[in-house]
Structures are given as structure tokens and as C-alpha cells.
Amino acid sequence: MNSQLVYKKAYWMAGDVWVLIVRSIKHIYKNYDQLLGLTIQPIMFMLLFRYVFGGAIVVDTGTYVNFLMAGILVQGLAFGSLTTSFSIATDLQRGIIDRLKTLPIASWAVMMGHVTGDLVRNGLQAFILISMGILVGFQPTASALEWIVIAVLIVLFTLAISWIAAIMGLLAKTIESVSWLGFLVIFPLSFASSAFVPTETMPAPLRVFAENQPFTHVIEAIRALTLNRPVGNHLWMALVWCFGIILVSIPIAGYLFRRHGGR
């Protein structure tokens, strides 16, 4: 293959991915009740923990809301990323996938579109959540550089969960089953973590799990960065987990996608 052809192919592929990203971004605002739901739910959680449970929880971060912010944010991002499984399952069950697959394009571009759509939606959601947090007393002390690191973490974590969500969307037999499948995965990971309470009070086996699973590392890294505390190994562990998940789940999702429909 000569270099000009390679160049042309790459150009087309990038164009295809872009067209499908635009499609997914359009879904965000055309389906704004979904965005609304995805944003309101973590806000409700934040108010619940801030005002109802917060008083009874002892933390070492000054106020509880300072502790809570990172947990709420990561849980919100994780549930937000599940939209990918929903979008992919919808594409598969409703049939538009057949049309997209008969186009002369790389078929994984469709998944790229949805995952990137999640990224945009989660970015928006993170901004709204942090602003709400500040309204109810969250006092971040992060420097500009630390905010950039937080943003990178948000992006990587979203990508990691979105690709897992893509796999769930591909495995789901119906659109309805997608929501409980996602719930089954995200619920334990986000509650058996340091999102809402310190892990010290958990029984030993649970504590071992909670302290070593990816959500806790991402939460602890963001928490330390926002509050100007030592990050320890959490940042590195968070990055390793996110990259690891992304590297493993993309080829699996690609394989499942090609196999879909009995090929």
C-alpha cells in the first residue's frame, strides 16, 4: 500500500469517527431528560449525604462535604458512563447497526462515537456537580495544575467505565437488561469504596476489597488533589487501573461488536 492511500484511509477513518461523535453529542441534547436525570441523581445523593447522613460520619478532612465531593463525583461519572451501554444496546436492538455495518466504514467507529459522547456528557456533569458542591460548602484548595490532573483523571476514568459499559451493551439481550446489568456492576464498586465513608470501619475482607479496587484509588487521588493532601500511591494506581481497563476492554468490545449478529 502506498503512503498516499494510507493517508487517505486515515483521513476518512478520522472523518467517520467524527461524524459518529457528532451523532452521539446530538443525542445528549436531543435527549435532555436523560442528561437531566443523570445530573439530578448525584445531586440528590450529595444533598442526602451532606445534610442527612453527614453529621454522623467522622472524617479527617475538616468538613464532611470536603470528603464527600470526590466520592459523589466518581459515582456520578460511573453511572453517567453507563449511557454507553444503553446507546449501544439501543443501536443493536433497533437495527440502525445493520445500516451502519453495511457502510464502507470501520465498524468500531460507532462505539468510538458513543464513548466520546459519554466523555462530553460526563465533562458537563462533573462541572455541574463540582459547582453544586461549592454551593453547599465544598472548599477545594487545588492549584491550576492539580485541576488539570483531576480533569485527566476524570477523562481516563470515564473512558475506562465507558468501554466496560460498551461490553455490557454488546452482551445485553435487551435494552431493559442493560440498566440492571450496569447497576449490578457500579453499585458495589461505588459503595464498597471510600466514596462516602472512610474504609477503616469496614470489616476486614470488605476493607481489603474497598482499599484495593479502582474506584477507591480514583476517589482518593481526586480527594487528595482537591484538598491539598498527600496523594500517596493513589494517583499512580488510579492511572494504572484506568489504562489497564481501557487496554483490555477495547479489543474485547471490538471482538464482540464484529461477532454481533452471527457473523
Partner 1 sequence: MLSTQENAIIIEDLKKSFKNLEVLKGVDLTVRRGNILALLGPNGAGKTTIIRILSTLLHPDNGNVFVNGFDIKTQPQEVRRSIGLTGQFADVDEYLTGLENLLMMGKLYHLSRSVITRRTEELLKKFDLTEAARRPVKTYSGGMRRKLDLAASLIAYPPIVFLDEPTSSLDPRSRLNVWETIKKLLNDGVTVLLTTQHLEEADFLADTIAVINDGRIIAEDTPGRLKSRVGKERLELVIKRQDDFERAVTVITGNDLSHNSAEKTVSLAIENGVNEIQGVLNQLAESGIEVDTLTLRKPTLDDVFMHFTGLKPDEGRNEAA
Report, in Å, the least distance between residue 185 CB and partner 1. Answer: 26
Instruction: Name the residue nearer to partner 1 (CB basis): 84 or 194.
Output: 84
**Residue 43 DSSP code:** H
- Asked if 37 interacts with partner 1 (CB under 8 A), we say no
The DSSP output letter for 34 is: H
User: Positive or negative CA dihedral for 203, 196, 176, 91?
Assistant: negative
Of 7, 10, 12, 143, the one binding partner 1 (CB under 8 A) is 12
Instruction: Show contacts with partner 1 in window 135-194 (CB under 8 A).
Output: none
- What number of chain residues touch partner 1 (CB under 8 A)? 24
Asked if residue 263 binds partner 1 (CB under 8 A), the reply is yes
Whole-number minimum distance, CB 43 to partner 1, in Å?
25
Pair 175, 89: CB distance under 8 Å? yes
Please, which residue, 27 or 50, has the CB nearer to partner 1? Answer: 27
Residues of this chain, 49-108, that bind partner 1 according to CB under 8 A: 94-96, 98-105
Residue type, 202: M
16 touching partner 1, by CB under 8 A: yes
User: b/e per residue, 133-146, with b = 16+ CB within 10 A?
Assistant: beeeebebebeeeb
The distance of closest approach from Cβ of residue 26 to partner 1 in the complex, given in angstroms and rounded to an integer, is: 6
116: amino acid identity, one letter: T
198-202, long-range: CB within 8 Å, 24+ apart, which pairs? 198/58, 198/59, 198/60
95 versus 244: smaller Cβ distance to partner 1:
95
- Apex CA 97: angle with CA 80 and CA 19, to 5°? 70
- Binding residues (CB under 8 A) for partner 1: these are 12, 15-16, 19-20, 23, 26-27, 30-31, 94-96, 98-105, 261-263
